[in-house]
Amino acid sequence: MKVAVVDIKGKNTGKKVELSDAIFGIEPNEHAIYLDVKQHLANKRQGTHKAKERADIKGSTRKIKKQKGTGTARAGSIKSPIFRGGGRAFGPRPRSYSFKLNKNTKRLARNSALSIAAKNERIVVMESFDFKEPKTKEFRLILKSLELEGKKSMFVMNGSNKNVYLSARNLPKVNIVTDTTLNTYSVMNAQKIVFIDVALEEFEANMNK
């Protein structure tokens, strides 16, 4: 699949790049995408939830009533979950939600997500650009020229570009990533994926190793 290269003004430069079929043209595996997105979201969970169970409640340890002759069930502690103010039964405890996912499965998921994006014409290739200093206003002009205002967009840069990142970080629907940190969730979450031409070359080279 060939994609035209545009400049920062959104105009066609006359150049075209060939997207690798091994990355952007495979048969998508939806289950692999599901697993990778699930792992990504699970890894972001803090897992610090905690409720007080009967052992964590402060209160008297005396027997609240005699065992027999009351006509009701036995009760040994005021901290029991059946009483108001008692501990919670089987409450949440701190835990890790992360789980292991094979490297080949993650690779398949990422390629599947990119293949879906390519098929739906959600991929744009742009010439390299940089800012002398952080300017959100200039980055907004790029979004406007690409007709991405108000849309979820992701820019894939080659390496860490501090000025571009600082220019875009206050824009709520813009995500700046590098070719080495691109993941399945970010691809599926973006309406448009803008690859810088150099970043695309490096990404394809790394993925085809």
- In this structure, what CATH number is given to the domain that contains residue 187? 3.40.1370.10
- 36 in the same domain as 130: yes
- 137 in the same domain as 191: yes
Q: What is the pLDDT along the chain (209 residues), one digit of tens a residue?
A: 888 999 988 898 889 999 999 999 999 999 999 999 999 999 999 999 999 999 999 988 888 899 899 999 988 899 999 999 999 999 999 999 999 999 999 999 999 999 999 999 999 999 988 888 999 999 999 999 999 998 999 999 987 788 999 999 999 999 999 999 999 999 999 999 999 999 999 999 988 77
- 135 in the same domain as 183: yes
Closest CA to 101 of 166, 35, 151: 35
Q: What is the DSSP letter of 166?
A: H
Confidence at residue 130, expressed as pLDDT on a 0 to 100 scale = 85
pTM of the full structure: 0.83
Rounded distance between C-alpha atoms, residue 82 and residue 57, angstroms? 13
> Would you say 12 and 4 are in contact if contact means Cβ atoms under 8 Å apart?
yes
Rounded distance between C-alpha atoms, residue 119 and residue 147, angstroms? 19
| Cβ partners under 8 Å of residue 193, min gap 6 | 114, 117, 122, 123, 124, 153, 154, 156, 187
- 89 in the same domain as 123: no
Q: Distance from first CA to last CA of the chain, Å, rounded?
A: 20
Q: Which domain holds residue 78?
A: 47-96
